[in-house]
Amino acid sequence: MGKYTSSAKALKKSDRKLKSLAQQVKAQLQELSERQAVGLQKMESFEERIDEQLEQLSERQAAGLRRLLTTEKRIDEQLEQLSERHVSSLRKLSTTEKRIDEQLEQLSERHATGLKKLLQLEKMVEEELEQLWSWHYWGESIEQRINEQIEQHTKGMEKFAQLKQMIDTELERLRSFQPSNDAREEEQPLHRMSGVVDPA
């Protein structure tokens, strides 16, 4: 009888342990299930965000492709316009070259000689410019030329003054031999016929 009682107690104790263990397992399973549910929700939210980002990326790619197509179209139009302009420029250039060739063929020997002299003069000028290695020398040369021009201008003014003085002297001399009014009236038709202007 005593053995039965102790065995029953042991069974009850084991049963309580099993029930407690079962409750713990159940609680852990429930907690695990809740964690899985939260994980699934997070996973679904993450998938939604990825889908949204992929959709935005797809829209951006589509917009980029549209822009790229528009840019390519503009480039093609510009290249086409450039090609047309190039062809037109080539035609104009060909026409211009043809006119130049015709004009060169029509140039006489005198014109050809003039062109040759012009080329020689340009060559001389280029050689002269190459020898001017200093702005100081160039400035002195210009200053010297200006002084020469001023000197020539001064001489010209002196000659003009001398000529004016001679004219004034001649006019004064002519006035001293001026005839009377009656004689001038008689001589006036002769002056008109001969083209002489009356100094008075």
- Please report whether residue 133 resides in a domain: no
Specify the residue for token string 């008109």: 192
- Please report whether residue 142 resides in a domain: no
- Please report whether residue 117 resides in a domain: no
Average pLDDT over every residue of 149-162: 91
Whether the per-residue pLDDT at 162 is higher than 90: the answer is yes
- What is the structure's pLDDT at 182? 47
Number of domains in the chain: 2
Entry pTM: 0.26
Q: What is the CA radius of gyration of the chain?
A: 59
Q: Which domain holds residue 46?
A: 1-104
- Please report whether residue 165 resides in a domain: yes
Q: Does 153 lie in the same domain as 96? A: no
- What is the structure's pLDDT at 194? 45
Average pLDDT over every residue of 11-20: 82
- What is the structure's pLDDT at 197? 45
Question: Does residue 176 contact residue 162 with C-beta atoms inside 8 Å?
Answer: no
Give the model's confidence band at 103: pLDDT under 50 very low, under 70 low, under 90 confident, else very high: confident
Whether the per-residue pLDDT at 4 is higher than 70: the answer is no
35 burial level (CB within 10 Å; 0-12, 13-18, 19+): exposed
- Please report whether residue 179 resides in a domain: yes
Specify the residue for token string 């200006």: 146
